[in-house]
Amino acid sequence: MLQVYLVRHGETQWNAERRIQGQSDSPLTQKGEDQAKQVGDRVRSLGITHIITSDLGRTRRTAEIIADACGCEVIADPRLRELNMGVLEQRHIDTLTAEEEAWRRQLVNGTPDGRIPEGESMQELSERMHSALQSCLELPPGSRPLLVSHGIALGCLVSTILGLPAYAERRLRLRNCSISRVDHQQSAWLASGWVVETAGDVSHLDAPALDELQR
């Protein structure tokens, strides 16, 4: 059975300011750096063999901190990026007009092909996240990868593994530096394929990981 750990990056400046990030980027706050160290402490004894990260700065930095604890290299995979949120990226969530909020809401409320202008649909996000996860099956036997990605992207992956629509990610609380785990199993009795072992665990963090955008 392949076990894959899923970690959302640490708190960033724009998470704390309630600005929409998408594929734009802002640095980790000091709290975000501390959270990443706590993930490292939590996973250092788990036998992680590969750390595969979205190529955005906030995930790369989180991955480097975890890699220091685990002693493995970091591999970047752009398929693990956050949903492209088009023209709303970098905007403060409280400054959206009614029309802009309606673009954002169609993702939350479940139009699979809906997208923010110049952005990406949840269906497109789901396809590239599943493709990145499937690639883990090509790693050498005995591998135990840890993927570092983003709130909506990971929520979409976990929701769709459960057989829920991608927009069900809004019902999952994947806070900064939460740890989830999905396993790939063959079973005569239970579901074969990907199963969800844990979602959104923050028990390793000493302070609550608040993220207004994810609540």
Ligand X SMILES: O=C(O)[C@H](O)COP(=O)(O)O
Q: Does 107 bind ligand X (CB under 6 A)?
A: no
The answer to whether the annotation marks 171 as part of a ligand binding site is: no
Asked if 12 and 27 touch (Cβ cutoff 8 Å), the reply is: yes
Distance of closest approach, residue 215 Cβ to ligand X, in angstroms:
10
In three-state secondary structure terms, 198 is: strand
Judged by CB under 6 A, the residue of 65, 85, 122, 148 near ligand X is 85
The answer to whether the annotation marks 215 as part of a ligand binding site is: no
Q: Which helix (H) or strand (E) holds 36?
A: helix 30-43
Judged by CB under 6 A, the residue of 10, 32, 40, 151 near ligand X is 151
User: What is the rounded CA–CA span in Å between residue 98 and residue 117?
Assistant: 15
The sign one gets for the Cα dihedral 35, 41, 45, 49 is positive
For ligand X, which is the closer residue by CB, 144 or 179? Answer: 179
Distance of closest approach, residue 189 Cβ to ligand X, in angstroms:
36
The answer to whether the annotation marks 85 as part of a ligand binding site is: yes
Question: Quick one: how far is CA 90 from the chain centroid?
Answer: 18
Instruction: Work out whether strand 50-53 and strand 145-149 pair parallel, antiparallel, or are unpaired.
Output: parallel
Residue ranges in 22-41 that form contacts with ligand X under rule CB under 6 A: 22
Distance of closest approach, residue 136 Cβ to ligand X, in angstroms:
20
> Which residues bind to ligand X, rule: CB under 6 A?
8, 15, 20-22, 82, 85, 150-152, 213
Q: Report the catalytic residues.
A: 9, 82
